[in-house]
Structure 1
């Protein structure tokens, strides 16, 4: 089965009465079947996103081959997305390998440079049918080893968002409206009015990074306010590592490794299913 880009997958999701798509970080191949089981349970299309660190660890081509194979055998419409990449060379590698969506993260640059670089990535991706996400504003917290301190958070303005979308034609835009990467024990404070104004000004799919830590009520309100893609990563990782710590602690060296991983994967499936159903 051919992998879907984001606009095509979003259209399928809307046809199944989903208001938004969850995009879920994959950290290792052992977790991968759990993602497809969740999509089956929720009758949802599946968007899997990969950090550049994970892509380099596992290999871009291996990821494409594994995800494409499971998408075909399980008959799950799937998008494979490279997340938070600031290196156009890595984006080119992902596109050549068969990723169906990429993110160019120029949020650390001034808006002129961010626009210029995003346009170059779009020129690279669009002829291949690959969707492009960009980010405007600085979202706090840690993502794949990169840290944005609280004092460096910069919220997305309506005027900048409109200019960015008008000048790039990007497929989806990640905005900074109060969420934090990696937040697990606290509660995000989403600026819903800012989000609604950006939605009205851009008429472009918007992305909420830092989906972990957002209450269900806030998430439903954000989705109703214009969010079409929600990134979730920390919650699955915390559940997987926690279960692995428990099973490895109790296990014997003669046990099959799969016995340690099965409970962890079941926990991930449960988290994903719950999140997918939240986006209906």
Structure 2
């Protein structure tokens, strides 16, 4: 089975009565079977996203081959997406390796430079049928070792979003409307009116980063307001590490490692199933 790009996978999702796609960060290869179990249990297509750090750690080819193989054997339409990347060479490397979707993050750059670089990435991607996510505005918090202070957050404006989309035509646009990367002990305050106005002005699938800190009620409202891709990463990592701390502390050194990991993977599967249910 081929890997789907975002646009193709979103069409599958909508045929199955989902309004949006969850895009779930994979932190280690041991987690991977849990993602497919969750997708199978919910009859959902699956979008897996990889940080540049994880891609370097595991290897691009191993990721592509493993995910493509599981997609075929489990009969789950799957998209493999490179998350937050500002390095054009790294994006091209992921494309060459077989990733079916990429994110160019130029949100930290001057507006015109973000436009120019996004256009360059889209120019590389279109002939390969690879979708491109762009970002406008600054989302606070920590992501893959990169941290942006809350005081430096910059909300996406309707005017800039409209012009950005008109000049670049991305397949999806990540916007800053109140969510925070890495938030799992508090609650994000989403600016729903801003979100609705951005969607009305751009008519482009919008992406919500920092999905872990969003309440179920806000998540449903955001999906109704134009969000069609929701990034979730921290919550799976927190649950997996917490379960591993518990099982490893109680185990013996000659126990099979899989016995330590099964409860952690079960916890990850449950998180995915809960999130996926919000997108119907």
- TM-score interval, normalised by the smaller of the two chains: over 0.9
**Residue equivalent to 1:20:** 20
Alignment of 1:91-106 (within 5 A): 91-106=91-106
Q: Does 1:113 align with 2:113?
A: yes
Which stretches in structure 1 are left out of the alignment for 5+ residues? none
**Residue equivalent to 1:192:** 192
Alignment of 1:1-150 (within 5 A): 1-150=1-150
User: Scaled by the length of structure 1, what TM-score is found?
Assistant: 1.00
Q: What whole-Å deviation, never above 9, does each CA across 1:24-65 have from its counterpart, x for those lacking one?
A: 000000000000000001100000000000000000111000
CA RMSD of aligned residues (A): 0.4
- Offset of residue 150 of structure 1: 1.0
User: Scaled by the length of structure 2, what TM-score is found?
Assistant: 1.00
Q: Does 1:253 align with 2:248?
A: no
Which stretches in structure 2 are left out of the alignment for 5+ residues? none
- Offset of residue 124 of structure 1: 0.5
- For residues 69 and 126 of structure 2, what CA distance do their matches in structure 1 show? 24
- For residues 196 and 272 of structure 1, what CA distance do their matches in structure 2 show? 26
Structure 1 runs (4+) deviating above 3 angstroms are: none
Task: Please give the secondary structure, in 1, of the residue aligned with 2:64.
Answer: helix
- For residues 276 and 41 of structure 2, what CA distance do their matches in structure 1 show? 9
Alignment of 1:159-174 (within 5 A): 159-174=159-174
- Offset of residue 151 of structure 1: 1.1
Task: Please give the secondary structure, in 2, of the residue aligned with 1:102.
Answer: strand
- For residues 43 and 277 of structure 1, what CA distance do their matches in structure 2 show? 10
- For residues 151 and 180 of structure 1, what CA distance do their matches in structure 2 show? 12
Q: Does 1:177 align with 2:183?
A: no
- Offset of residue 213 of structure 1: 1.1
Q: What whole-Å deviation, never above 9, does each CA across 1:76-135 have from its counterpart, x for those lacking one?
A: 000000000000111011000000000000000011000000000000111000000000
- For residues 241 and 139 of structure 2, what CA distance do their matches in structure 1 show? 25
- For residues 267 and 278 of structure 1, what CA distance do their matches in structure 2 show? 17
**Residue equivalent to 1:226:** 226
- For residues 83 and 213 of structure 1, what CA distance do their matches in structure 2 show? 18
Q: What whole-Å deviation, never above 9, does each CA across 1:199-253 have from its counterpart, x for those lacking one?
A: 0000000000000010000000000000000000000000000000000000000
Task: Please give the secondary structure, in 1, of the residue aligned with 2:214.
Answer: coil
- For residues 113 and 48 of structure 1, what CA distance do their matches in structure 2 show? 28
**Residue equivalent to 2:158:** 158
